[in-house]
Structure 1
Amino acid sequence: MGGEKPKTILTDQDVAMAKAISIVMPETFHGLCTWHIRQNALRHVNHLYQTSSQFCLDFEACIDLHEEEGKFLNAWNSLLVEHNVPEDSWLHTIFPLKEKWAWAYVRKTFTAGMRSTQLSESFNADLKNDLKSDLHLVQFFTHFKRAVDGKRNNESEAEYDSKHKPPKFKTTKSRMLVQAGNVYTPRIFEEFQAEYEEYQDTCIRDLKGGLYAVTNYDNPKERIVMGNPVEQYVYCDCRKFETHGILCSHALKVLDVMNIKLIPEHYILKRWTRDARLGKKKKRCNGMVRIAQDDGGEARENVCGEEVREDRQGTTATAVDRCR
């Protein structure tokens, strides 16, 4: 990982792993897989699920819905009281770890939108399809290599599609959508385009002082957004960018109100771009990603349709007058 420690690691409730992460990577956020928490709940407090269907709704709300710590704590206490949870229940053992699984706390850190260990679980499932206990060592590595090669092949195909297939626009093209299509990988562009479509159905109220209240058509909850047109800064209390790494529909609405028609460069995470693996210095012109090359010039069109070129040393980028 380029010598850098991950921002977030998700695991099950393995005690040894938790201790190792805290020692080796103390600055990394250690979250608990919510899928495993749900499975453990079914195993340890299944009688509560059987007694009342409301318990499932209340428990799910504590995991995923409550955004504020105070509301989460009130909801948790209500769950314990209303469902007559005894003091020796498994629920009391999971509560001290709430900062690792409850959305009220997890939303404070970057997780790339992940709440479970589904990627590793998927790989484990693929291995189990090929591996058997009676295989000798050579057979084991043969099957293991087949599983790994399959994953790498899928990754290579996705990389090729990212480089060579044009983005699929679901709505009328705009400068921002074209920019996002050129910069983001297909999957991230699809997520961004969904937010872009949603922002067109939002309503906004100017609260003055750089504050705005934004609501979506299908969700009456108001989101408070701060915006600064000079610094091209925007912050939404839904924390979509802080947790997922892409701007939310509320932030996009405020950018539009501030007459900012392109995604500000500081809101484009390198990890989500088509050129994330290159690890080379990027240069942009009106949202166009430029990759500095050491062995020759390179040209590509930017979002305004003009050509951008770098010199053969890869140290400067020039464009026709309309892009300057």
Structure 2
Amino acid sequence: MTSMKDNKPISILTDGDEAMHKAIDDVFDISNHRLCSWHVSRNACNNLKDDEFLRNFQACIWEPFALDEFEKKWEVLRERASTPKQKEWLKMMYAKRDSWVESCLREKNFGGMCTAQRMKSMNKYLKDYLRKGVKLFECIPAIDRAMLRLRNTTAKDGFNEKYSTPIFKIALTKLKQQASLIYTHRCFVLIRHEIESCSALTYDKVMYNFGGRVYVLSKYGESHNMVFTTVGKICG
């Protein structure tokens, strides 16, 4: 907060450390807190040994189910738990569902990020240049080569952003054109995926309530899987 002039982050990702979780709740009380999906998945591997059981749990991490659909799938998981350890772990994870279940995080902005692996990936990146047996006087030139590669990648991204135009598919072309003028080339690829996902929705009906509108949408061929989008001020 000192480096950001007392501005609190809108969203923050952590690996689930309990002390850090408590500190974030105390200091960043208005921030969206998400647990790293990679760490949640790894913990599931340690606690849920059955392969099918594990796949069903991981679907709750990644798939944007409607909330009622998530609850149904979670009930199946609870019934399938065969040991006290599994039942206790599932109970603990359900209590934290607002910080790791995709269905509960859909309305919160994390900029396309779901893991806190940036530092670990940087370590791996440097390890490609600092292999076993590298002498001390060879370390700095090796790190320089790694940094040069990163700078080249950044320069390439900047060139593509300035001198190239993203490829548009048919769906919602005007919206994509506007997004391509606002975001960087790499960020636009993520935004384009979101726009294309929205283009698969069909309009069902609109409800007027308390001065606002609630649009009811559903995926094509999946009328039971509804999405509610609110426009305007809804007072409750």
Q: Is 2:171–2:199's contact at 8 Å kept on the other side of the alignment? A: no
Partner in structure 1 of residue 104 of structure 2: 105
Residue 212 (structure 1) aligned with residue 215 (structure 2): yes
Structure 2: which amino acid aligns with 1:128?
A: K
Per mean C-alpha deviation after superposition, the further-off stretch among 205-214 and 29-38 is 205-214
Partner in structure 1 of residue 80 of structure 2: 82
Residue 182 (structure 1) aligned with residue 181 (structure 2): yes
Structure with greater helix percent? 2
TM-score using structure 1 length:
0.55
RMSD (Å), alpha carbons: 3.7
| 50, 53, 56: which one aligns with 2:54 | 56
| Secondary structure at the counterpart of residue 130 of structure 1 | coil
TM-score using structure 2 length:
0.71
Partner in structure 1 of residue 229 of structure 2: 225
For the pair shown, which has the larger CA radius of gyration, 1 or 2? 1
Q: Is 1:33–1:116's contact at 8 Å kept on the other side of the alignment? A: yes
Structure 2: which amino acid aligns with 1:153?
A: N
Partner in structure 2 of residue 154 of structure 1: 153
Q: Judging changes above 3 Å, is the alpha-carbon distance between structure 1 residues 172 and 112 closer, same or farther for their aligned structure 2 residues?
A: closer
C-alpha distance in 2 between matches for 1:103 and 1:9: 15
Q: Is 1:162–1:185's contact at 8 Å kept on the other side of the alignment? A: yes
Partner in structure 1 of residue 9 of structure 2: 6
Q: Is 1:167–1:182's contact at 8 Å kept on the other side of the alignment? A: no
| Secondary structure at the counterpart of residue 143 of structure 1 | helix
Identity of aligned residues (%): 27
Q: Judging changes above 3 Å, is the alpha-carbon distance between structure 1 residues 81 and 194 closer, same or farther for their aligned structure 2 residues?
A: closer
C-alpha distance in 2 between matches for 1:160 and 1:37: 37
Q: Judging changes above 3 Å, is the alpha-carbon distance between structure 1 residues 18 and 140 closer, same or farther for their aligned structure 2 residues?
A: farther
Report the alpha carbon displacement of residue 158 of structure 1 after superposing the two structures with TM: 0.9
C-alpha distance in 2 between matches for 1:202 and 1:100: 26
Q: Is 1:171–1:197's contact at 8 Å kept on the other side of the alignment? A: no
| Secondary structure at the counterpart of residue 229 of structure 2 | strand
Partner in structure 2 of residue 123 of structure 1: 122
Q: Judging changes above 3 Å, is the alpha-carbon distance between structure 1 residues 85 and 107 closer, same or farther for their aligned structure 2 residues?
A: farther
* Greater RCO (CA < 8 Å, at least 6 residues apart): 2
What residue ranges of structure 1 are gaps of 5+ in the alignment?
236-324
| Secondary structure at the counterpart of residue 115 of structure 2 | coil
| Count of residue pairs the alignment pairs up | 224
Structure 2: which amino acid aligns with 1:170?
A: K
Per mean C-alpha deviation after superposition, the further-off stretch among 11-20 and 109-118 is 11-20
Q: Is 2:217–2:226's contact at 8 Å kept on the other side of the alignment? A: yes
C-alpha distance in 1 between matches for 2:96 and 2:203: 38
**Superposed CA offset, 1:165-216 (max 9, x none):** 1232233895444333322322343444445555555432343533433233
Structure 1: which amino acid aligns with 2:60?
A: C
C-alpha distance in 1 between matches for 2:172 and 2:75: 49
